[in-house]
């Protein structure tokens, strides 16, 4: 099978985890780059990474790279690519661009120029041009421009891969699915220790953990991937890749539970859990974390609210309560918490044994680990 070059994009800080995941999926020449990993492989691998990767946001397949002197140069090089091999004249197209070029700094302009080059080629060669569809095109083209030149690639995922297809109920601040999966990976949860998210919101950690523990492909509930609309889509190969991955799914054999103070959110979490096929396996209940009396000994992972509108004093006492709950009703647990405000981290009042810098969207956060021993003085300030 023909070998291609790919870049799988991910969130900052998860490049190494994604590289390991890609190696385990069979990728070759795996190399972490900024917010991504480059690798090589065949079409089957491209389908497989789209279907199974928990940490990739999209998978770009390289088409051509070339040096660029200026706008005309860029236009002519893109015009020269045999776009008719990838797209029908009556098809639809979208072009995204990212530029780090010192002079050509306007990404929207570059995307427009690239789109013009592609449609001009069709019009001149075939007398008809594809139309633009930014939401759901047959072909999504990606242009990356920097000082060394342009790289043109095709987005084999189209809709970002964090859109897993199980989230039907969203709340105000759900954590991104790839971030949740990445944090689970960083925490090295062993998939055997009971897992609890006491502020579970829409249930993302719970579902991502259950999917990981059952080896459910991350894309199991997605209806579509970009490559399915490509001219060369090989549905038999796709079926094989999908069936091979699905055959590895095992029943959930670990306790996973979540709770939240908001009844509305709990309803949504239950709907999402149901959509992901884990209803009856993941326990979700309405509960104020600060009112829990029974000790939980296991693995805790959570993403408490951080609201910029929250008064500092309220925020400090909220996070102080979290620290106190960890200490008093979570003895014997390993607790991981993602926190953005330094004041909140201090307010927890326990010594984290690990602090990992991560980003939640554009917000810099710390992913903190607390090992909570019974009566240990090491953990308290």
Ligand X SMILES: C[S@@+](CC[C@H](N)C(=O)[O-])C[C@H]1O[C@@H](n2cnc3c(N)ncnc32)[C@H](O)[C@@H]1O
Residues binding ligand X (CB under 6 A) = 171, 173-175, 198-199, 201-202, 204-205, 260-262, 265, 288-290, 303-305
Cβ 318 to ligand X, closest distance in Å?
7
Cβ 261 to ligand X, closest distance in Å?
4
Nearer to ligand X among residue 32 and residue 198 (C-beta): 198
Cβ 250 to ligand X, closest distance in Å?
24
First CA to last CA distance, the chain: 59
Cβ 286 to ligand X, closest distance in Å?
9
Bridge partners of residue 92, in order along the sequence = 131
CB atoms within 10 A of CB 256: 25
Nearer to ligand X among residue 82 and residue 173 (C-beta): 173
Instruction: Provide the token pair at 133.
Output: 């569809």
- Angle, helix 235-246 to helix 43-52, in steps of 10 degrees: 50
Cβ 190 to ligand X, closest distance in Å?
21
Residues in the chain, how many?
A: 381
Distance CA 152, CA 89 (A): 19
Nearer to ligand X among residue 217 and residue 304 (C-beta): 304
Nearer to ligand X among residue 20 and residue 262 (C-beta): 262
- Residue nearest to ligand X as judged by C-beta position: 201
Nearer to ligand X among residue 107 and residue 176 (C-beta): 176
The answer to whether the Cα torsion of 44, 50, 55, 56 is positive or negative is: positive
Nearer to ligand X among residue 153 and residue 302 (C-beta): 302
Cβ 374 to ligand X, closest distance in Å?
23
Nearer to ligand X among residue 199 and residue 256 (C-beta): 199
Please name the residues in contact with 191: beta carbons below 8 A apart, sequence gap of 6 or more.
209, 212, 213, 254
Nearer to ligand X among residue 108 and residue 363 (C-beta): 363
Please name the residues in contact with 153: beta carbons below 8 A apart, sequence gap of 6 or more.
7, 60, 61, 62, 63, 141, 142, 144
Cβ 308 to ligand X, closest distance in Å?
13
């Amino acid at each position: 099978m023909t070998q291609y070059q790919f870049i799988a994009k991910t969130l900052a800080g998860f490049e190494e985890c994604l590289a390991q995941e890609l190696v385990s999926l069979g990728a070759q020449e795996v190399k972490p780059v900024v917010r991504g990993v480059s690798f090589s492989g065949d079409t089957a691998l491209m389908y497989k990474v789209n279907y199974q990767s928990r940490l990739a946001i999209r998978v770009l397949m390289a088409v051509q790279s070339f040096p660029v002197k200026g706008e005309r140069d860029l236009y002519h090089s893109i015009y020269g690519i045999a776009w008719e091999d990838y797209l029908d004249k009556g098809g639809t197209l979208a072009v995204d661009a990212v530029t780090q070029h010192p002079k050509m700094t306007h990404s929207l302009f570059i995307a427009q120029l690239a789109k013009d080059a592609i449609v001009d080629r069709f019009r001149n060669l075939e007398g008809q041009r594809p139309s633009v569809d930014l939401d759901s095109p047959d072909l999504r083209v990606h242009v990356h421009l920097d000082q060394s030149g342009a790289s043109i690639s095709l987005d084999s995922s189209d809709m970002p891969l964090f859109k897993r297809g199980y989230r039907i109920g969203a709340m105000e601040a759900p954590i991104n699915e790839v971030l949740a999966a990445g944090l689970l990976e960083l925490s090295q949860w062993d998939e055997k220790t009971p897992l609890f998210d006491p502020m579970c919101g829409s249930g993302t950690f719970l579902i991502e953990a259950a999917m990981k523990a059952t080896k459910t492909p991350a894309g199991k509930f997605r209806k579509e991937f970009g490559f399915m609309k490509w001219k060369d889509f090989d549905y038999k190969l796709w079926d094989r890749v999908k069936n091979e991955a699905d055959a590895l799914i095992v029943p959930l054999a670990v306790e996973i539970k979540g709770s939240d103070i908001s009844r509305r959110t709990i309803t949504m979490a239950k709907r999402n859990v149901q959509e992901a096929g884990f209803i009856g396996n993941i326990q979700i209940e309405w509960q104020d974390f600060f009112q829990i009396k029974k000790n939980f000994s296991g693995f805790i992972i959570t993403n408490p609210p951080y609201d910029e509108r929250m008064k500092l004093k309220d925020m400090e006492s909220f996070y102080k309560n979290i620290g106190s709950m960890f200490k008093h009703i979570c003895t014997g647990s390993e607790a991981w918490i993602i926190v953005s405000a330094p004041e909140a981290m201090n307010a927890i009042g326990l010594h984290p044994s690990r602090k990992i810098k991560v980003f939640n969207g554009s917000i810099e956060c710390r992913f903190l680990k607390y090992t909570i021993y019974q009566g240990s003085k090491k953990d308290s300030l």
